[in-house]
Chain A
């Protein structure tokens, strides 16, 4: 199978994208007759060499664009790409990857699937697996029309640092003049905090709907800060604006892998659990013994989280 990875070099998370794609390629596409290359988009000339060092394949097409605007990226792909020769396009996890993966397949009259965890290549056929039913079920899909275009699920592969040192085969394009984004009359970028600290945390305390108020959420965050833990929340807490969105844990937030994860007042939906399932130790504190999180934890305390966390903080800080 001939495959291509697509990187968004305009994004600040380019290293994570590259290492994720590299891990997935090595895990699923490193054997047999598979041949891979990369298309990497970037906008700033001075970042080109750094981007080149992050490409997970020896062959790369570097495409310079004004910015990573989806309509222009799709147009750029149509300009540089010969789909007759490519069987599979791989996009990193994240919003940008999923959007282009689907629309690109649609334009190429191929098949697409997003948030893919695993693939199996069998000749020219592609079997892909992804979660469905709010993360309760793993669905297996057969993609029936090539070219196949998929985006990865967060945390689906162990990220692997790029180790290629040989001279790369580079083809360059300058498509900064594309103007498919004229429906946008004004645009302003607003930097915001990311989930990176949660994803890197070794000790994590997470509050759920059981916190009931914004004030309680802030109190638990203070305890987490005092104990040296990163602080996260479940989706209902973020959706109620008791905590910022970048604190959200789960399939639409951070996928974490701490040594210790204390989960307070969280029922434990499967979509939430996906964000903590790689934890070494999960401690659940909840008043409801029937909450799904109790069976999914290593250790559980059935009690009011506020009282238990206050006592735990006293012990830890004494």
Chain B
């Protein structure tokens, strides 16, 4: 079974101070000084693919994992880590375009990669990125490929060469389904899926394998049907009154007397009913 995991790296914008949140006339913000990190949903997708790989021998299903990103050379460090984690192929589609709000373009690249470069059985990707929050790439890719899509996957198990057992989080419950490939799976909030760290030995043995690099110019990027026309920073500010005191007891007392007494008393009574 061939599984393509698509991921992206994003700047950790939680590190920006209020003063840093300045967009220029082209709706760009300088995040070049922030360390790129794996997008959290994509990190879960990568780890879930590795977990499938761990299980593949015991269920006798040969698995070939490919990790792919559309990015500049800034993604190299993470790509080397994925090499060390024994992804069979690690691919970077070189692009310096502004892809923050271009899910249609990204989906069209992924589709062409699957159809023209390396056939796959499963496309695995996080449900959205922290920057664009588009939450559409996986759905658009499924439509472009003509494949079914299962969203909000939180657990994936190998069944046989053509089937996966997928547990998805729905709005009011969970759905456990045996799915026939090919399919697109998007990863939701899946607990305990922080990506593992490669051993030093694997870093030395596999980390330096070549990264397959293709140019985005070799792909046709479809046009977006939504145009970004404005960005406005949201300020989350309240009074921020600090409760002073010499001990936790004194602070708790002041907090209770000054701010919580009436409300907490009501709740306390409710709890006793």
Cβ proximity bits A261-294 to B, threshold 8 Å, 1 near / 0 not: 0000001111001000100011100000100101
Q: Nearest-CB distance from A118 to chain B (Å)? A: 12
Contacts of B248 in A (CB 8 A): 303-304, 307-308, 310-311
Residue of A whose beta carbon sits closest to that of B31: A133
Contacts of B192 in A (CB 8 A): 239-241
Which single member of A102, A140, A183, A189 contacts B231 (CB below 8 Å)? A140
C-alpha spacing A238/B189, complex, angstroms: 9
Q: Nearest-CB distance from B148 to chain A (Å)? A: 5
Which single member of B132, B149, B241, B253 contacts A103 (CB below 8 Å)? B149
Please tell me the number of chain A residues within 8 Å of chain B, measured between CB atoms. 99
Residue of B whose beta carbon sits closest to that of A284: B240
Specify which of B14, B100, B101, B272 lies most central, judged by the most chain A CB atoms within 10 Å of its CB.
B14
A200 within 8 A of B: no
Q: Nearest-CB distance from A2 to chain B (Å)? A: 19
C-alpha spacing A89/B148, complex, angstroms: 22
A-B contact count (CB 8 A): 275
Interface set, chain B 219-242, CB cutoff 8 A to A: 225-234, 236-242
Residue of B whose beta carbon sits closest to that of A277: B236
30 interchain pairs, CB-CB under 8 A:
A11-B172, A132-B131, A132-B132, A133-B131, A134-B133, A136-B16, A137-B231, A140-B229, A140-B231, A143-B226, A183-B183, A184-B177, A186-B178, A187-B176, A188-B177, A189-B173, A203-B266, A228-B269, A260-B264, A260-B267, A270-B14, A296-B236, A296-B237, A296-B240, A298-B241, A301-B255, A303-B248, A303-B251, A311-B249, A317-B268
Is there contact, CB below 8 Å, between A139 and B228?
yes
With A144-B225, A282-B238 as given contacts, are A203 and B264 in contact (CB-CB < 8 Å)?
yes
Q: Nearest-CB distance from A222 to chain B (Å)? A: 13
Is there contact, CB below 8 Å, between B238 and A130?
no
With A102-B136, A228-B270 as given contacts, are A111 and B225 in contact (CB-CB < 8 Å)?
yes
Stretch at the interface among A93-101, A155-163, A170-178: A93-101
Is there contact, CB below 8 Å, between B169 and A259?
no
With A226-B271, A277-B236 as given contacts, are A308 and B252 in contact (CB-CB < 8 Å)?
yes
